[in-house]
Amino acid sequence: MLRHAIDDLAAELSYRKLGLYAALIVALAAAEGVFRYQMRMVLIGISREVEYELRNDLFAHLCRLGPDWYQRHRIGDVMSRATNDMSAVRMVLGPGIMYTANTLATFAGTLAFMATISPRLLALALFPLLLVSVLVRHYGRKIHDLYERAQEQLASINVLVQENLTGARVVRAYVQEAHESERFEAANREYRERNRALVRTYGALYPGIQLLMGAGTVLVLYVGGRMVIAGSITLGEFVAFGAYLAMLHWPMIALGWVVNLFERGEASLGRIHEILDEPETFADAGRAPAPELRGEVHFRGLDFGYEPGRPVLHGIDLHVAPGSLVAIVGPTGSGKSTLVNLIPRLHEAPPGTLFVDGVEVRDWPLRALRDAIGFVPQESFLFSDTLLANVAFSPRPGTAERAREAAAVARLDKDVIDFPLGYETRLGERGLTLSGGQKQRAALARALAADPRILVLDDALSAVDTQTEEEILQGLRARRGRASGTTFLVSHRVSTVRDADLIVVLDEGRIVERGRHDELLLRGGPYARLARRQQLEAEVEAATA
């Protein structure tokens, strides 16, 4: 358009024609604007939708992976895949495709016009521009790597500061402020060094692009100018050629950039697929919904180990009648936790060794099995939500109605009175921080609110003071009287296990003794020895008193 206008200008023309050209330029820009708006909204919109779906899929899949998998993977790494890698993939689907289309369209249009003006000039002018693409691609990758290196160092600085702040008391007490500052200074300097390397590379990139583009312009100016003088092209063609060349600047930069996008996106997609391709840890037996569970648990000659060759449990034979209270005691590392973890299939027992109500655990529909079990883990994990939402956590019907009663049994109620908003108090990062004992009691209430047939307390009252623990055990007894549920109690404390229907003593993965408190005392085995030691200690105490 510009070309005709200028040619006409050189060859005299009317004002009317000039107006027409001007109107055409604006109309074309408007049309192109509408098109570009549409393209951006549609293409990027699609990429956002795909990202949304993919991220949900990833989350859903993460829900299907068991504790084994989580032990092998760090949360930070999984997070990075769900965020950084996800956005790298989206960049390909959105901007990647959009700029590719854009570049191709611009190329197709401009190159054709430029070729009609002069193929020779085109070849000449295009050369430096191609170099721009190569430059962006090559340095783009290098800059990305250097940037990652700098970010890694920033992450180390983060860790350093975090450790320093969480350990502030130790740092003060051992007068380590100067030493810490030295460590920080070293990390800080390393970060500067890595950034300097980054600046050296990227500082040259943009000026380099400008230089190459300018070179194209100079070539056109000189060679094209000579062609105008020689009469092989018109002045209008010459000016138009320059304008077309300017239109190619951005697509050329985009070209190099897009190649890097695709490369990064592919690697990221691979990392995401590593998770998605991970087989579900517990394939569901998928049988018809089970009848109401009674709560009978039977271990039959069970051997179990997390890794082959390193067994944790040996030949466990244990039958637990519905409604009974079984206590499991033994030193740290004797396999107590592992044993109870097998019941809700947090880890998978070998075939034919673990039965609930006479049916092998792996043949139960997973949901039905877990719904029937209230599990209180060693480390109580609560969500940053209200206290009530944490207690009424189970989606089973009636949970919300039972929440307060459950909190009462767990003796959480006496603390709630002091909370600013009672049960509506928010926990976590921006809310209230509970003490260890409060957390454990909340976790117990959460399990009770689900009204389970089988209750498992995995050393879950260790941070609760003795008096409160006694109250809780009384509450549980009363509840058992009403609901006749089965209870597994893993504990260190004699006061906790004394009233159990059955006490099982584990040592190095074997059941070394079983019976009621009184029987075991009479038998004079390990349990009796433990109890006697305590007794003896009391007598020693009494003597020194």
Output 14 or 351, the one with its CB closest to other proteins: 14
Output 168 or 283, the one with its CB closest to other proteins: 168
Cα–Cα distance between 362 and 103 in angstroms, integer? Answer: 56
Q: Is 378 in the site for other proteins (CB under 8 A)?
A: no
Output 318 or 366, the one with its CB closest to other proteins: 366
Output 171 or 321, the one with its CB closest to other proteins: 171
Tokens 């209200």 sit at which residue?
386
Does residue 373 contact residue 456 with C-beta atoms inside 8 Å? yes
Q: Which of residues 133-162 bind other proteins (CB under 8 A)?
A: 154, 157-159, 161-162
Q: Which of residues 461-480 bind other proteins (CB under 8 A)?
A: 462-463, 465-467
Q: Which of residues 333-372 bind other proteins (CB under 8 A)?
A: 333, 344, 346, 367, 370-371
Count of residues that bind other proteins according to CB under 8 A: 154
Q: Is 203 in the site for other proteins (CB under 8 A)?
A: yes
Q: Which of the stretches 251-259, 306-314, 326-334, 482-490 binds other proteins when contact is defined by CB under 8 A?
A: 326-334
Tokens coding 303: 């051997």
Output 109 or 225, the one with its CB closest to other proteins: 225
Out of 103, 260, 337, 394, which residue is the one contacting other proteins (CB under 8 A)?
Answer: 394
Tokens coding 451: 């009204």
Q: Which of the stretches 19-27, 267-275, 284-292, 471-479 binds other proteins when contact is defined by CB under 8 A?
A: 19-27
Tokens coding 59: 């989350």
Parallel, antiparallel or unpaired: strands 510-515 and 502-507: antiparallel
Q: Which of residues 218-277 bind other proteins (CB under 8 A)?
A: 218, 221-222, 225-226, 228-229, 235, 238-239, 242-243, 246
Tokens coding 517: 């408190």
Output 409 or 447, the one with its CB closest to other proteins: 447
Q: For residues 495, 499, 501 and 506, what is the CA-based torsion angle, rounded to 10 degrees?
A: 10
Q: What is the DSSP code (8-state) at residue 333?
A: T
Does residue 240 contact residue 117 with C-beta atoms inside 8 Å? yes
Alpha-carbon distances of 222 from 6, 126, 132, 229, 247, rounded to whole Å: 19, 15, 20, 11, 19
Shortest Å distance, C-beta 279 to other proteins: 16
Q: Is 12 in the site for other proteins (CB under 8 A)?
A: yes
Cα–Cα distance between 434 and 533 in angstroms, integer? Answer: 35
Tokens coding 425: 């108090």
Q: Is 214 in the site for other proteins (CB under 8 A)?
A: yes
Tally of CA atoms within 13 A in the half-sphere of 96 that contains its CB: 19
Output 75 or 481, the one with its CB closest to other proteins: 75
Output 199 or 267, the one with its CB closest to other proteins: 199
Q: Is 540 in the site for other proteins (CB under 8 A)?
A: yes
Does residue 249 contact residue 213 with C-beta atoms inside 8 Å? yes
Cα–Cα distance between 481 and 323 in angstroms, integer? Answer: 9
Q: Which of residues 483-502 bind other proteins (CB under 8 A)?
A: 492-495
Shortest Å distance, C-beta 189 to other proteins: 7
